[in-house]
Structure 1
Amino acid sequence: MVLMLGFVTIVAAALAAGYLLGRLRPWRRAGDWAADQVRFTGAWVRGGVVRQAVVVLVHVVTAPRTSWRIMRTPAADTTAPVPVRDPDWVAHRTRADKGGTP
């Protein structure tokens, strides 16, 4: 009887853990975090070698096909053009810029 009660408790705990992992989706969250860190070069570039290694490792583990495609793609040689700033942008806004209809 005690053995059966222990088995039922283990099964219930396993089902609860599976439900919580399904709701929390840690695998997807880790993959999304790594993809965001790789895609938007920001703090992770300045974070040091250890942070870069962790980000790349998590990305390779959670999205191996995407990581392989990224590694095969050559780096772009051109840089993005600097946007031209309009010092009088408020006066040149349209209705669409202000949230209205064009």
Structure 2
Amino acid sequence: MTALAALAVTGALTAGYLLGRWRPWQRLGDWAADQVRSAGPWARGGYARQATVALAHILTAPRTSRRILRTHAAGGREVTAPVRDPHWAANRTRSTDQEGTA
């Protein structure tokens, strides 16, 4: 093994270690997920910024991106209020009343 080959192997191992510690792929994914979650500046940033964020999110989290794209928007459906039982205290079972007591 020549000195140049040993130097190249050492440099590649060092670069791999540093990239593993720095985790640029995970950092890019976290940034993209944060941008997608908030409807803040990424939505107002224009088409280039939206395309960059969407591409980064698709590359770093393909399963999540696929799930988001398959989910229907809630705009067309009515969201109903939860049904409340006015007699909730009378309908409790005895075992649930005694669970918290010692």
Q: What's the TM-score once normalised by structure 2's chain length? A: 0.72
Match of 1:17 in 2: 15
Structure 1: which amino acid aligns with 2:14?
A: A
Match of 1:64 in 2: 62
Q: Deviations over 1:3-55 (max 9, x none)?
A: 61001000000001001100100000000000000011100000000000000
SS in 1 for 2:72: coil
Q: What's the TM-score once normalised by structure 1's chain length? A: 0.72
State the distance in 1 between where 2:33 and 2:74 align: 19
Q: Larger Rg: 1 or 2?
A: 2
Match of 1:46 in 2: 44
Indicate the percent of aligned positions where both proteins have the same amino acid. 61
Q: Which runs of 4 or more aligned residues in structure 1 lie more than 6 Å from their structure 2 counterparts after TM superposition?
A: none
Structure 2: which amino acid aligns with 1:11?
A: V
Q: Matched residue pairs, number?
A: 76
State the distance in 1 between where 2:22 and 2:35 align: 20
Match of 1:93 in 2: none
**Pairs within 5 Å for 1:86-101:** none
Runs (5+) with no aligned partner, structure 1:
79-102
State the distance in 1 between where 2:16 and 2:33 align: 25
State the distance in 2 between where 1:16 and 1:60 align: 29
Structure 2: which amino acid aligns with 1:41?
A: A
RMSD of aligned Cα (Å): 1.2
State the distance in 2 between where 1:25 and 1:54 align: 19
1:75 CA drift (Å): 1.4
